[in-house]
Amino acid sequence: MKQDIILAGVGGQGILSIATVIGSAALTEGLYLKQAEVHGMSQRGGDVQSTLRLSSEPIMSDLVPKGGADCIVSMEPMEALRYLPWLKKDGWIITSTAPFVNIPNYPPIEKIMEKLESLPHLVALDADAMAKDAGSPRSANMVLLGAVAAKLDILQPEALREGIRRVFGRKGEAIVEANLKAFDAGFEKSM
């Protein structure tokens, strides 16, 4: 069994935290993992992308081939569109609907969402609002991780919850609980 995931967003949105939690959970579950990251001008709102390849068998490359991603997870909708060529025909797009407008010619959000809604497998949610409702406005990335957990076959949700505990544990129990609450909100919404 294997699953290829592309995480996409803009610097500061928590893409690398999602990758760290998934990676931690995968290694604890005894899976093979390859990961690659791009940090393009991330401190200035540039593109941040991470690919994760998880498998029960050894993996030769850390790059997901075009048309090979089981899931694209995006912290904002235009970034989801950027990686569509890498999505399998039956793959999932999991995206926040809140745009991060960091360029002057950002397309109208209605046009972006129209294209995404034409795809067969889409979970689109306002991760920012859901994180605020969960009491942790900075945990929108964990809302999306929860939504992903409902679609992954290779990792169980509890393994990802344990990954959250490990990754955020040094920040204290309140941070761990806030992230778990955001994770659970995303999980429930995408079931």
Give the pLDDT confidence of 63-122 residue by residue, as tens digits: 999 999 999 999 999 999 999 999 999 999 999 999 999 889 999 999 999 999 999 999
Phi and psi dihedrals of 57, rounded to 5?
-120, 160
Quote the CA–CA distance of 93 and 101 in Å, as a whole number. Answer: 20
Is residue 145 very low, low, confident or very high in pLDDT (cuts 50, 70, 90)? very high
| Residue range 20-30, pLDDT digits in tens | 999 999 999 99
The pTM for the full model equals 0.94
pLDDT at 169: 97
- Tokens representing 160? 């990802």
pLDDT at 40: 60
Say whether pLDDT at 34 is over 70.
yes
Quote the CA–CA distance of 112 and 115 in Å, as a whole number. Answer: 5
**Distances in whole angstroms, Cα of residue 157 to Cα of each of 10, 35, 53, 61, 117:** 25, 20, 17, 26, 26
Say whether pLDDT at 132 is over 80.
yes
Is residue 41 very low, low, confident or very high in pLDDT (cuts 50, 70, 90)? low
pLDDT at 46: 72
pLDDT at 166: 97
CB 98 within 8 Å of CB 128: yes
Averaged pLDDT score across all residues of the chain: 94
pLDDT above 90 as % of the chain:
86
pLDDT at 39: 64
